[in-house]
Each structure stands twice: as C-alpha cells, then as structure tokens.
Amino acid sequence: MPHDTIIIGAGHNALVTAFYLAKAGRKPLVLERRPVVGGCATSEEFAPGYRSATLAHTLGPIRPSIVRDMQLERRGVTFVHPEPRLVSLAPDGRALVFSIDPARTAEAIRPFSSKDATKYPEFCATLGRVAGFLSELLDMTPPSIDSPSAGVLWELLKTGRRFRSLGKRESFALLRWGPMAVADLVAEWFETDLLQATVAARAIHGTAMGPWSAGTGALLLLSAAIDPAPGGSSVSAVGGPGVVTRAMADAAREAGAEIRTGASVRHLLVTDGAVTGVALADGSEIAASMVVSGADPRTTLLGLIDPVELEPDFLMRIRNYRCPGTVAKLNFALTALPAFRGITGDPAAMLRGRLHVGPGIDYLERAFDASKYGETSASPYLDVAFPSIVDPSMAPSGRHVMSVHMQYAPFKRRSGTWNGQEHTLADIVLRTLATYAPGITSLVEHRQVITPLDLEQIYGLSGGHIHHGELALDQLFTMRPTLGWADYRTPIAGLYLCGSGTHPGNGLTGGSGQNAARTILKARRP
C-alpha cells in the first residue's frame, strides 16, 4: 500500500493522530520500535499468569470525543469509574476515602476535621468552575505569538470573553493559583495534612517538583481541567490501558492506517529543509512527504535529525527543554490482596480505584528533597492500583497484581548507575507499604521493577520523563515544547509532533494526538 505519511511510534497519541489522518483520506504508516503498540499504555504479562498495567495504570481520562470517534467501547473497551475513587492512608491507621459524590467525601473528611468537611464541597465547586474554563484551552492549538492567524485571534477573543464570564471570585482564583506552590494553595482551604497532601499530589505526579515548588498550583489546575475531582482521575479500563491502545490501533487500521511493530526509526531523511522520509534501524528507507512523530521532542529533534538541519537557536531551546525523570514503576504478583490498616469492609470493593501513600505535605516535600541531590526517597510518594480487582483474569484465580508508581527516583543519580538498583527500589516500596499493611512482603510471588533508566532505554522516554518533558509553567501551552513551535509544527517542513511533549500533554487523554491531527489537516488542506 503506498503511504503519504509516516507516524513515528504507536503510543496512544500517535494512534489517535493516525486514526484522524486516515479518516481524512491520508495513508499513514505507523512505525513502532517495540513489539507491541501502546507506548506507556500497555498491559503485559510480567510473571507467569500475571498481567499488569506495565507503566500507566489509570487513564487521563481519554477525551469523550475520541472514545466516540474511535468507537472504543464497541471495540471491547469497558471503562471503569470506580467508587470509591481514591483511598488515602494515614500513619495513625486511619484512611480518608474519596467518593465520586463530594457530599459523601465531605462526610468521610468530618472525623478528621469538621471545618474541612464544610469547606470540601465549596472547594470542589470552585475548582470545577476554574477547571471548566481551562478545559476549553486544552482543545486549542496554542497560538503563534509572533504572527497569530485570524482564526487564532478569534479563538483568543472568545477565551477572553469566557474568562470575563467566570466571575470575579473564580477569575481571581485562576490568576492567583497558577503561580502558587500547591502547598500554599491547599493550606488556604484545608487544615488536615492528609487531605492537603492527597489533593496536592496530583500537582507533582511525574514531575521533578515538590509541593512547595512555585507553579505547582498551575499543575493542579491542569490536572483538574482534565478531571476536576480533587484527587485526580481514577478512571481505568478492564484489562488495563493496553486494552484501550489495542482498540485504538484497530480503529486506526480500520480507518486505513498500517501499523508495523518492531520497526525502529533511526533517523529522518531531510532535503533542503523538508522531510522526505525515514531510515530504519534495519537499514531500509521509506519515503514520505510528511512525518508525524509521537516520540518525545528531544528524541525527535535531537536524536533523529542531523543537527546541521536545525538553526542553532532552535537547537539550543530543545536542548534546554527539561526532561528530569523522577519515577520508577513496580508491578507485584501477590498471593492475596494486602490488608491495609484503616480500610474497613471488603478490600476488593474499597481498592477498585487508586491508593495514595504520601500522608502529609512535609512528607511529600522530603520525598522530593532527596531527588534534588540525586538520591532516591527513602520514604517515597506512592500511587498504587490493583488492576486485577476490576479484571480478575489479570492474575491466577484468587491472586492479584499490584501496580505501584514510585516517586522520587531521580533519573540522574548522585553516584552510580541504575543498573542493579531494582532490589533496593522494591525494598523501599515494600517497606513503605508495610507500615500500612504489615505482612505485605510475604504476599509477593514475583516483581517487575522498571527504573527511570529503563523508561528511557526500553520505552524511549528521554530522561525517563513520564510526560515527555517537565510539566512546568515555562513548558506549557504556547511554550510546549518551545515558544514559537507549540502548534505541532517543527522548523523542518513536513515534520510535525503529536506526542505528550506537545500541548496539552499530561497523561492518557489523547489530547495532543487529536489537536495535532486537526492542526495538520488544516495546514495541509489541498
């Protein structure tokens, strides 16, 4: 089949882009270096009979328009909106349970603080209104600052009008909260340390920042724009995120895209400043007048292009694009569900969503402190899920898988390398969990430890950064990945970006891939 477009990588964003481009009549060829599609969103066997959400365990969630257009539910995806969404563990043996219903959550907060219980619904409502305004920005192609088109100016004007309609209280909150440290933001609302830390955690998830870092307020808002629940999204899919990306691949194929796995792009072919195709690691070359990369900006623009093809100023800006990975991922095969102190009732019913370990603002900040000096947190922030509860077929009968996002494990270590550190990471995680679930270690049959170095080497994430680049005020919206190039174009004619290193990034939503496809189709209209 002749192809007119090559798409690098089969991460969820690239699959979304491939689908929309194919729908519009283009002939995309997707080239993925790994043997499976999905990028960070896969469900793979890691021990005999045990499958887990290899990296990501929850969804952003995926944009509803993508779910509808790609007919993901018809293709076998069952989305799970767990109740409760989140359980947060306290060191004194209590637990804070976050329900879908804010009033119910408020009642769960009451034993900790009646003042916080009263404030919680108001916080949800304010956050929801501000996030509602921001969510429309997520759908936008960030405007070119130098020469905005008439269409972009119109969009900005509409945004200005929406901002004014927010009302004084919310517009003031939006302007003030963004640059703040999320620790200050949550302290203005709540007095309970556990509640403050659980809400603040979404703002530091996957970043090289702690709750006292300036600008983390903006990340809470960004996360809320995708899912306004204060604890963040707990949406998952039966079978894990791999089921979603397999369905996305089916949708892209049905629309006319071809997908090849085990096909690693070694470099881009460029003639007179325009892309003409790609060269693969096996030495073959494939011609195409358009290439869209779902790999991260540093991989694409520094790893796959001869530097002579790019202006020094642009090269410098991409070299300055920060990707400081801080996350390790661990999957455990368990003989039974652990018994966490503070969780009353059936643990399988209580743990359908996420489990938060990071019981105070100072705890989270100390966990971050270690990473500033290249050290792994001795008491880390953990985000835990049990995918086998919503899909028992992921483990042998009666057994379970536990998926643990561990932070902070800095990609750049103060001394030594990540090689051989798997044992230490597993020990730290199990020791931390054992303070809430004594005896958990004896339940472990197998484990898979994915270090930040593995994230770079196996999964292709520069610096091991789970979001394809730091989510920080200077790398968001019109500055993602860099000022002047936030509209999915690159200085190489015909080369576009569509991965998480472009606006809006931030998790499994498909937003970057959908925005990129729309922008490309507009730019390449015959």
Contacts with ligand FAD by CB under 6 A lie at: 8-14, 31-34, 39-41, 55-60, 264-265, 294-295, 299, 327, 329, 405, 455, 460-461, 466-468, 499-500, 507-508, 512
Return the DSSP state at 484: T
Q: Are strands 50-53 and 43-47 parallel, antiparallel or unpaired?
A: antiparallel
> Please, what is the minimum distance in Å from the beta carbon of residue 10 to ligand FAD?
5
Cβ proximity to ligand FAD: between 88 and 192 the closer is: 88
> Please, what is the minimum distance in Å from the beta carbon of residue 133 to ligand FAD?
22
Kindly list the strands in the beta sheet with 258-261, ordered across the sheet, starting from the edge strand earlier in the chain.
258-261, 28-32, 5-8, 290-293, 495-497
Q: Report the distance separating Cα 402 and Cα 52, nearest Å.
A: 8
Cβ proximity to ligand FAD: between 32 and 487 the closer is: 32
Return the DSSP state at 407: E
- Which among 500, 485, 131 has a CA at the least distance from the CA of 294? 500
Structure tokens at 254: 């049905």
CB 497 within 8 A of CB 292: yes
> Please, what is the minimum distance in Å from the beta carbon of residue 521 to ligand FAD?
19
Return the DSSP state at 141: P
Return the DSSP state at 425: H
Q: Report the distance separating Cα 5 and Cα 13, nearest Å.
A: 16
CB 156 within 8 A of CB 143: yes
> Please, what is the minimum distance in Å from the beta carbon of residue 55 to ligand FAD?
4
**Dihedral-angle region of residue 234 (phi above 0 means left; psi in -120 to 50 means alpha; beta otherwise):** alpha
Cβ proximity to ligand FAD: between 8 and 117 the closer is: 8
CB 212 within 8 A of CB 197: no
> Please, what is the minimum distance in Å from the beta carbon of residue 329 to ligand FAD?
4
Cβ proximity to ligand FAD: between 117 and 455 the closer is: 455
Structure tokens at 504: 């809006």
- The whole-angstrom distance between residue 197's C-alpha and the CA centroid of its chain comes to 19
Cβ proximity to ligand FAD: between 57 and 489 the closer is: 57
Cβ proximity to ligand FAD: between 216 and 299 the closer is: 299
> Please, what is the minimum distance in Å from the beta carbon of residue 259 to ligand FAD?
11
Backbone angles phi, psi at 314, to 5 degrees: -65, -45
> Please, what is the minimum distance in Å from the beta carbon of residue 516 to ligand FAD?
10
Q: Report the distance separating Cα 28 and Cα 258, nearest Å.
A: 6
**Dihedral-angle region of residue 68 (phi above 0 means left; psi in -120 to 50 means alpha; beta otherwise):** alpha
Cβ proximity to ligand FAD: between 182 and 265 the closer is: 265
CB 495 within 8 A of CB 268: yes
> Please, what is the minimum distance in Å from the beta carbon of residue 302 to ligand FAD?
12
> Please, what is the minimum distance in Å from the beta carbon of residue 164 to ligand FAD?
32
Cβ proximity to ligand FAD: between 10 and 333 the closer is: 10
Cβ proximity to ligand FAD: between 399 and 468 the closer is: 468
